[in-house]
Chains A and B, each alone.
Chain A
Amino acid sequence: EAGVAQSPRYKIIEKRQSVAFWCNPISGHATLYWYQQILGQGPKLLIQFQNNGVVDDSQLPKDRFSAERLKGVDSTLKIQPAKLEDSAVYLCASSLIGVQGGFFGPGTRLTVL
């Protein structure tokens, strides 16, 4: 079974630039999560999709972050414009609906200079 795919793996940008991350979940997983993990902290949920609908985006900074999951499969997360404090690893995870843990992708390490 193929795992969660993410790209790019690393990205370095200057503040005020834009950046986009891509995630392809495990086939058949209806739930997709984007997490932000700052060094030394636990993953913080940014947005959760179920199929192509948003279940929770209460912690997404909507003035600069946006995400979509067209057709209920792949998802993209965008930051525009980036700030220094956005430097983190962005993790995508997917799961079946119900009592199952999320399976994580390798993450994208973002550095904002």
Chain B
Amino acid sequence: GENVEQHPSTLSVQEGDSAVIKCTYSDSASNYFPWYKQELGKRPQLIIDIRSNVGEKKDQRIAVTLNKTAKHFSLHITETQPEDSAVYFCAAKTSYDKVIFGPGTSLSVIP
């Protein structure tokens, strides 16, 4: 069945450094890739997304890249701040709208 893998499971960076989270998906029919941020005790919040016909998308300090051939996509956060500390989930949406989540990356930004 469909599967999304995510690495690393935990990531610690110094404030101001960059953070990169990588995901792979199994269903080649997936056409949409959202990223969610979940702070402790709160609901997942959509922070950025990318469609299958785009290779890269940027929004201020965050960017996503997609390699459809390799079925890889990544989240890049630059100039990290303490408020970026959270669990980040990647997800892949198939052509029939099913959304599969990765297991999550716990990001800690050390002041």
Interface residue ranges, A against B (CB under 8 Å): 31, 33, 35, 41-45, 48, 50, 55-56, 58, 91, 93, 95, 97-107
Contact = CB atoms under 8 A, between A and B. Distances in A.
Interface of B: 1, 6, 31-32, 34, 36, 43-46, 49, 51, 89, 91, 93, 96-104
The interface residues of chain B, by DSSP majority, are classed as strand
Given A42-B103, A43-B44, A91-B44, A99 B93 contact: yes
Nearest to B102: A42
Given A41-B103, A43-B89, A105 B97 contact: no
B91 to A, nearest CB: 8
B31 A99 contact: yes
A100 B32 contact: yes
A103 B32 CA distance: 15
Contacts of A98: 32, 97
Contacts of B45: 104
A101 B49 contact: yes
Nearest to A42: B101
Which 7 residue pairs of A and B lie closest in terms of their CB atoms, listed nearest first? A101-B34, A99-B32, A42-B101, A104-B43, A101-B46, A42-B104, A42-B103
Contacts of A31: 97
